[in-house]
Amino acid sequence: MTADLPLVIDHLNFRYNSRTELALKDISLSVAAGQVLLIAGASGCGKTTLARCINGLIPRSYKGELSGEIRISGNDIKQLSLARISQLVGTVLQDPERQILGTKVANEVAFGLENLGLDREEIKFRIQESLARLKIPHLIDRETFNLSGGEKQKVALAGVLAMHPSLLLLDEPLASLDPASAQDALQIIRQLADEGMTVLMVEHRVEDVLRISPENAIFMMDGEMKYYGPTRGLDQTVDYHEVKLPAAMIMERAAKDPAPERLTALRQSARYTRPAEGQSEELVRFEDVKFWYDPEREILHDVNLSIRKGDVIAVLGPNGAGKTTLVKHAIGLLKPKSGKVIVEGKSTHDLSVAQIARTMGYVFQSPSHMLFAPTVREELAFGPTNLKYSPEEIERNTRQAIQIVHMEGMEENPPLALSFGQQKRISIASVLAMTSKILVMDEPTAGQDYKNYMDFMDSILQMPSFEAVLFITHDIDMAVIYANRVLMVNDGTIVCDGKPAEVLQDAERLKHNRLVPTSLLAKNLELFSKTHAFFSAEELAHIV
């Protein structure tokens, strides 16, 4: 009977008070114990809103008109307190910055357990059990502030798992994880489901999730379920432009459609040719850079690196490798403890962050670190205004940036009221509007559907204002499709620097640096003798 099921949703509708249109439209579903349900769809389609309804944040924290019924293990959610719901539904948010409260990892994992009133010995046992399960026991005494984004994601998940919920709700749990950590997390999720837990996963990295064979899947569009059923039927239902499927599936479907415009327009761009050493202007140089937060634990070790005009650099490596720390030195947010960073001929020790911003625009990993203005329009105008651009330039730049990230019509919305994926696009747009010489992005695809990030990357690489682009990513396919240079970083050192085909063909090196080959990388390597370049799956469908 449905009354015995962990989750039953019946004719659910919801509209936020701040909006006129429905965010969810007539959602009905049920999930059995021991099942994994994948929830996929474009950014802003209603996935996170559905999650907020299930964990009780709607209507308690997010206000609006709600109708329909949600039952958790037979209990009407309207009759339960938020504290009681949190015991039944363990939630891991998209942005771990919004979830972590403790200053130390042990305190963070203990937080929920202490609120359950468990005794001290049980709390200690569950902390160790949860950290060990996620393979991060070494983080137990670390300060949460100094963790990488991926490490924070694991700690947030550890805190939820320690509470032993019957239903696990994961909102983009893989977004900040390196590929190997994502595989580890997925295996843990599959194991939890096999042990009887019900798992709901909101995720854009569909190809990765398919590896653990979720029993059912939902594809959402504009607040509606366009598909709900066995996962094996998902690939023929979803729009392959919006949801990244395995390369072979995309190629099969794309071959029946017209060739993408970018195949002819973008590939003619000189950006896909790495500038020859010494033949292109040097914009940034690292000279024997060392850095540490704690003198006993050095983060960067003797880093030497040049960024040249024409570079499109993908920075790959495991969580905690020092990738973000490295990039923060280029933009002056961190200063070397030893060595120096030169930006356009001047040491960052002699430049303010504001001065460097004219050369380098930085998109933070977490949009909550950037967004503050009351409207999207004011958010985008803030940087150019401080750089003393004219009103005409500010208007032109903000309009162009809004178009590039597909956020037209959102200009008067409060940025922090948008979905995580939309916030990420606004944070990117706010830097695009500054038209700095070098664009630096930390995890630009987090919270983004396939179409959005392909579109804005295509547009960014055709913008003449950017002389170089650098992006930190755990999405190897981003490096495959867009980079002309790959930096592999591990343990605070650059272990490899070269063309994508050179760096990414070594399977052992990938494994050692916690990178996992994707179906797109495998297909490109297989066809490289014919193509002599890396392409997206859609392009490969028309090239070969």
Sign of CA dihedral 235, 236, 241, 242: negative
**Long-range contacts: 70-75, Cβ < 8 Å, 24+?**
70/7, 70/8, 70/9, 70/10, 70/12, 71/2, 71/3, 71/5, 71/7, 71/8, 71/9, 71/10, 72/6, 72/7, 72/167, 73/4, 73/5, 73/6, 73/166, 74/3, 74/4, 74/5
Asked which of 104-113, 194-203, 324-333, 535-544 is least confident by mean pLDDT, the reply is: 535-544
**Are 471 and 440 in contact, with CB atoms under 8 Å apart?**
yes
Angle, alpha carbons 225-230-233 (nearest 5°): 80
Could you give all domains of the chain from N- to C-terminal order, each with its CATH number? 2-238 (3.40.50.300), 277-344+441-544 (3.40.50.300), 360-435 (no CATH)
Q: Give me the sign of the Cα torsion angle 220, 226, 232, 236.
A: negative
Contacts of 154 (CB under 8 A, 6+ apart): 134, 136, 139, 177, 181, 185, 319
Banded model confidence at residue 270, pLDDT cuts 50, 70, 90 = very low
Q: What is the percent of the chain where pLDDT is above 90? A: 62
Could you give the CA distance from residue 51 to residue 39 in angstroms, rounded to a whole number?
10
The mean per-residue pLDDT over the stretch 178-183 comes to 87
pLDDT on residue 277: 59
Which tens digits make up the pLDDT trace of 377-409? 999 999 999 889 999 999 999 999 999 988 999
Residue 22 in this model has a pLDDT that exceeds 50: yes
Q: Is residue 481 over pLDDT 60?
A: yes
**Using DSSP, how many helices (H) and how many strands (E) does the chain show?**
21, 20
Assigned token pair, 430? 């706010």
DSSP code per residue over 257-306: SPPPHHHHHGGGSGGGSPPPTTSS-EEEEEEEEEEEEETTEEEEEEEEEE
The distance of Cα 341 from the centroid of its chain, to the nearest Å, equals: 28
The one-letter amino acid at 443 = E
Reported as a single tens digit per residue, the pLDDT across 94-104 is 777 778 888 99
**pLDDT tens digits, 426-451:** 999 999 999 889 999 998 887 788 88
Beta bridge partners, 312, equal 469
Cα separation, 317 vs 322, in Å, equals 9
530, containing H or E segment: helix 519-531
Under a CB-based contact definition with an 8 Å cutoff, are residues 492 and 322 in contact?
yes
pLDDT of residue 1: 46
